[in-house]
Structure 1
Amino acid sequence: MSCNEFPPKKRNKKLLVLLPISVLSVEDSLIDKTYKAGFISRILSIYKVDEVILYRDDESNSFDEKFLQLILNYQIIPPHIKKKIIKKSKLLKYAGILPPLRLVNHDPPKKAEIGKILDGYVEKCDENYCIVYLGMIGNGYLDKKEVDDKIITVKIKSIKNKIMLEKASWGNLYTGYKVSKIKNLDIKKFKDEGYLIVGTSKLGECFNDKIKEEIDNKLRNSKGIVFVFGGPHAELYNEKEFDYILNTVLNQGTLTVRTEEALASTLAIFNYISNC
């Protein structure tokens, strides 16, 4: 079995991440907040997270809430249609330092070829057709009846006189995470929906082979898994709400492990479990 399959398929079970907005609170400058938010978007994408849910904790503030949500959403939009969707903002002053995600739908064809699938932006419509912006290859035309959103996945059907399109789908391929928001950390909701809930903390149980096997078995009978991360100066507690609270950075070499570092370490371990 290959361990480097691309384009990547979606996970068989949902992978959700609950992340505190305060993850940005330790950064003072806009450029540092931008860099960190970009790093988080890369980690979420590398490990094929289905949804990142931002929650408020005691150290969260309105600016970081707005900014983190903006950057995570900005990153997931295919680059060739980004300018059509995102309005100019002072918050995006340092967007140039954001790392590209290179998702399967972020690499459109350089020239129009029949059968190619890509994402486009619906510019305008007349009675019969909509003009869809496709990036460097120009505009395509799609039957108005097939248009249900401004961002749309299409397949090139014909290139004779103009690029004619038909509605398409990325199917079972992974095209990025969804961003959502909740006011407070509410774990019960996810537990009631059938998810396995795993918190992360340096005070948690050390991850080991026994726990690996248990999680693997429980995951088979669940809707998916939710990883919950605490803020920069807070540890998760109330063990009854979690199926596990784990330390995924065993014998750390530094006094503290930052939230985004714990995110990377935890998802790397889970990626191994789920692919074994």
Structure 2
Amino acid sequence: LTVFPDSDGIRRWEDGFVETVLRYAATPPYLRKAVWDRRDELEYAGVLPPLRVRTRTGSGSDESGSLRQGIVTEVGADGRVRVNCGLQHPVSLPVPDGMATAEGERVTVRVSSRRPVRAKIVDESPAGFAVGRAGLDAALERDDAGLTVAASRHGEELSVTRLGQLVEALEGGDDAAETTTEAGTGDLTVAFGAPERGLPAIVGTDPPASGETGDDRFDLWLNTVPNQGSEVVRTEEAVFATLAPLNLSR
């Protein structure tokens, strides 16, 4: 999940506000106090809907070999660190060879047993999702950006037929050439507007006609809430409405 700057939003909410709130929401509940403590930006974080992001692998916390996020609370001189990973107490674990850890750093812990505790730090990406920050151009120019879609009420209305064409394009099928030069990679990047400004205003372009765009950064402008019946769809609503159909499988 990449947050890109919007000059109007920065003036209203200060730089980094949205990123901070999203990072907090993506942090496992058992780590939030240690990671965030008390911050003005999080004054109303209690009203955020619980994401229940999958912060560990396995069907339950007791499953053998499950991966969990942890935070280093203390660094020892003997090549060991104390890690808070949501167990009853922080655990002392050896640092793998070639891995450097510092106090406050997040690590991934593989728990093989809770009673007695058997765990180790592993060099693997934690479960859940990461929140990053980059300019819109940088996000769209990533090597793994794939098909770039602008979510907007001014875009082409998403239909069953069009959705099938998009899936075909992502998989490199017959309709690929009509949609994107990055077809077949399976990668997809979707850009959303801000709560009070849509993408046309943010990128400084006129609203597109019939799904076309004069902004060559996007392969497609797409309206995933056709006949919405309201002038504005909130960003958080647009995220659900867009990612749900685009993640459908055959």
TM-score, normalised to structure 2's length?
A: 0.72
Q: Distance in 2 between matches of 1:110 and 1:186?
A: 38
Aligned to 1:132: 83
Matched, 1:53 2:2: yes
Name which structure has the greater RCO, CA cutoff 8 Å, separation 6+. 1
Matched, 1:121 2:71: yes
Q: Distance in 2 between matches of 1:157 and 1:144?
A: 17
Deviation track 1:10-47 (CA, whole Å, cap 9, x = no partner) reads: xxxxxxxxxxxxxxxxxxxxxxxxxxxxxxxxxxxxxx
Residue 74 (structure 1) shift: 1.0
Q: Distance in 2 between matches of 1:175 and 1:218?
A: 28
DSSP 3-state at the match of 1:65: coil
Q: Distance in 1 between matches of 2:6 and 2:197?
A: 11
Q: Distance in 2 between matches of 1:245 and 1:69?
A: 25
- Looking at secondary structure, tell me which structure has more helix per residue: 1
Aligned to 2:228: 252
Residue 223 (structure 1) shift: 5.0
Aligned length: 219
Q: Distance in 1 between matches of 2:51 and 2:66?
A: 20
- Identity %, equivalent residues: 26
Residue 56 (structure 1) shift: 2.4
Matched, 1:94 2:44: yes
Matched, 1:222 2:185: yes
Q: Are the equivalent residues in 2 in contact too, given 1:187–1:241 (CA < 8 A)?
A: no
Aligned to 1:179: 131
DSSP 3-state at the match of 1:91: helix
TM-score, normalised to structure 1's length?
A: 0.66
What does 1:1-276 align with in structure 2 at a 5 Å threshold? 52-61=1-10, 63-105=13-55, 115-124=65-74, 125-145=76-96, 148-149=100-101, 150-157=105-112, 163-168=117-122, 175-185=127-137, 189-190=141-142, 193=144, 195-220=146-171, 221-222=184-185, 224-231=187-194, 232-236=196-200, 237=205, 238-272=214-248, 275-276=249-250
Identify unmatched segments of 5+ residues in structure 2. 172-183, 206-213
Residue 109 (structure 1) shift: 11
Deviation track 1:197-253 (CA, whole Å, cap 9, x = no partner) reads: 111222211112332122112212125111122343345342433221111111112
Residue 270 (structure 1) shift: 1.0
Residue 193 (structure 1) shift: 4.8
Q: Are the equivalent residues in 2 in contact too, given 1:155–1:168 (CA < 8 A)?
A: yes
